[in-house]
């Protein structure tokens, strides 16, 4: 996490540090940042040896308690800026038509129409909101909660 955000020599720095993604002071400070992060992890679903990784719900947001969670790799892949229904990845597309921006979301093998928007930024935001909601539903189903 630190390397991706702060080390320009790290290969994934371009996806994090260059985009301005940072780690909150609560987790980063020298005095007790690591202890704070460990405490947060233990209270928020981290289980050793379960293959979990830290995931930012808002892919444009920072590493901070309100935006992070522990998830399995399959959930992590669904919450990417560029997920595609067949599991491969390409940059998400928002198409412009007659001055409006149209967007859909491929998620877990299904195509969801997101809508038509006046700006590209609004289309991207709404697409990310839908993706986060669908990921949360999938997480609750995996935990055995009945969504019905």
- From 38, 71, 104, give the residue that closes a domain: 71
pLDDT value of position 86: 43
> Can you tell me the distance from the alpha carbon of 97 to that of 23, in angstroms, rounded to the nearest whole number?
38
Neighbours of 86 (CB within 10 A): 8
Mean pLDDT computed over every residue of the chain:
79
Question: How large a percentage of the chain has pLDDT more than 90?
Answer: 29
- Per residue in 91-145, pLDDT (tens digit) is 356 777 677 877 877 777 677 778 888 888 888 888 888 888 888 887 776 655 5
Residue with token string 């697409």: 127
- pLDDT category at 38 given cuts 50, 70, 90 is very high
CA distance 73 to 84: 15
State the pTM of this model.
Answer: 0.55
Range of the domain at 143: 88-148
CB 114 within 8 Å of CB 104: yes
Q: Does 133 reside within a domain?
A: yes
Looking at the structure, do residues 141 and 98 belong to the same domain, yes or no?
Answer: yes
> Do residue 92 and residue 136 come from a single domain?
yes
Return the higher-pLDDT residue of 111 and 78.
Answer: 111
Q: How confident is the model at residue 77 (pLDDT cuts 50, 70, 90)?
A: low
CA pair distance 68, 55, nearest whole angstrom: 5
| Number of structural domains the chain divides into | 2
pLDDT at 53: 87
pLDDT in tens, 10-35: 998 988 998 899 999 999 999 999 99
Residue 6 has pLDDT above 90, yes or no: yes
Inside any domain, residue 131: yes
pLDDT score, position 144: 59
């Amino acid at each position: 996490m630190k390397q991706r955000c702060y080390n320009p020599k790290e290969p994934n720095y371009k996806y994090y540090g260059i985009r301005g993604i940072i780690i909150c002071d609560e987790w980063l400070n020298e005095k007790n940042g690591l202890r704070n992060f460990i405490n947060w992890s233990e209270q928020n679903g981290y289980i050793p040896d379960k293959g979990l990784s830290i995931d930012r719900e808002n892919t444009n947001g920072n590493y901070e308690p309100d935006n992070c969670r522990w998830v399995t790799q399959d959930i992590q892949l669904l919450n990417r800026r560029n997920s595609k229904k067949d599991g491969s990845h390409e940059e998400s597309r928002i198409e412009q038509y007659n001055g409006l921006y149209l967007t859909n979301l491929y998620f877990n093998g299904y195509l969801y129409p997101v809508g038509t928007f006046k700006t590209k930024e609004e289309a991207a935001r709404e697409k990310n909101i839908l993706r986060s909601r669908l990921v949360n539903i999938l997480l609750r189903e995996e935990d055995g909660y009945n969504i019905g």
